[in-house]
Amino acid sequence: MVFAKELEKNLMVVPSSGYHFPLSAPKRIESLVDKGTFVEYDANLSSADPLNFKGLASYKDKLEQNKKKTKLNDAVVSGMAKMGGFPVSLAVMDFRFLGGSMGSVVGEKITRAIERGLAEKAPVIIVSASGGARMYEGILSLMQMAKTSAALARLSEAKIPYFSILTNPTMAGVMASYATLGDVIIAEPKALIGFAGRRVIKETTRADLPDGFQTSEFLLHRGLIDQIVHRHELRDKLITLIGHLGHALHTAQPAPKPAAPKKAPVRPAAKKKPTPARKKATTARKKPPAKK
């Protein structure tokens, strides 16, 4: 048994077993960035209801309920911050908001965070926690996979590092797009990571799935992810990686142009006095011809 307050102080990690509970976006940001450096961007973006979706509850009602529950406008918080003194562009998903599903606003905010890193020449960090694309928005939610991936391609061409953090769970459209396109992919212990659910895969393949299937440990062993990092060690690990991969982005300033050498003042050359012979010849040329 663990008390809720003790669990919150421990970043939602059970002290005895090390089990990682989901962590809200604001708490995650607080645990990662230098104190007082986070500046949120695009906080006013909010999802619309392009399909006028109706079900047991309308999409509009679902959005309002989740806004009141989480105090967020959508499932991701993004902005600029510093980590260990390094500027970074950061986006953190929040599973509490409709299961961290990716709709048009989530895709737009993720894309803007990537483009901000490109403009500022700052490493990009995205923390994923999602059940996948938001089906309330249909094809518009699936289009975000291509949009975010295209933005990451431009970031890669500029040789700016991107660090992807996978938490429990990271599934479906998010896993199949920006979550697995990082230069370095880090996962928390025992996180659920995959595309389709275990039951769907088993029914489709008609085969028994191995133990630990779709866990971060299983995927580390097979090379999909690079490291498994405990939540308490994640900040230090990221600062180290940024120091190795992104240190040159802000230190390599263009060399100042050398000052133009000062020219010595040019003095006018002194006029030479004509020699007597030259003077006589000059006078002779100027003397009018004698009259006959």
pLDDT of residue 273: 57
pLDDT of residue 129: 92
Name the phi and psi angles at 143, rounded to 5: -65, -25
pLDDT of residue 282: 47
Rg of the chain, C-alpha, whole Å:
33
pLDDT of residue 110: 95
Those residues whose C-beta lies under 8 Å from the C-beta of residue 99, and which sit 6 or more positions away, are: 75, 130, 131
Does the pTM surpass 0.85? The reply is no
pLDDT of residue 83: 93
CA distance 95 to 93: 6
CA distance 76 to 270: 80
Cβ distance 31 to 10 under 8 Å? no
pLDDT of residue 16: 82
C-alpha dist (Å) from residue 191 to 129, 187, 239: 10, 7, 22
Those residues whose C-beta lies under 8 Å from the C-beta of residue 68, and which sit 6 or more positions away, are: none
SS3 for 65? helix
DSSP string covering 72-129:
-SSSEEEEEEEETTEEEEEEEE-TTTGGG-B-HHHHHHHHHHHHHHHHHT--EEEEEE
Token pair in block for residue 267: 């003095």
pLDDT of residue 254: 42
pLDDT of residue 256: 46
Q: How far is CA 172 from the centre of its chain?
A: 20
Q: pLDDT (tens digit, 0 to 9) for every residue of the chain, 292 residues total?
A: 778 888 888 888 888 888 888 899 999 999 999 999 999 999 888 888 888 888 788 888 899 999 999 999 999 999 999 999 999 999 999 999 998 899 999 999 999 999 999 999 999 999 999 988 888 888 888 999 999 999 999 999 999 999 999 999 999 889 889 999 999 999 999 888 888 877 888 778 788 877 778 888 888 988 889 999 999 999 999 999 998 887 667 544 444 444 555 555 556 555 555 555 554 444 445 555 555 4
CA distance 185 to 89: 16
DSSP annotation of 211: T
CA distance 148 to 174: 10
Contacts by 221-225, CB closer than 8 A, 24 or more apart: 224/180, 224/185, 224/193, 225/166, 225/185, 225/186, 225/187, 225/193
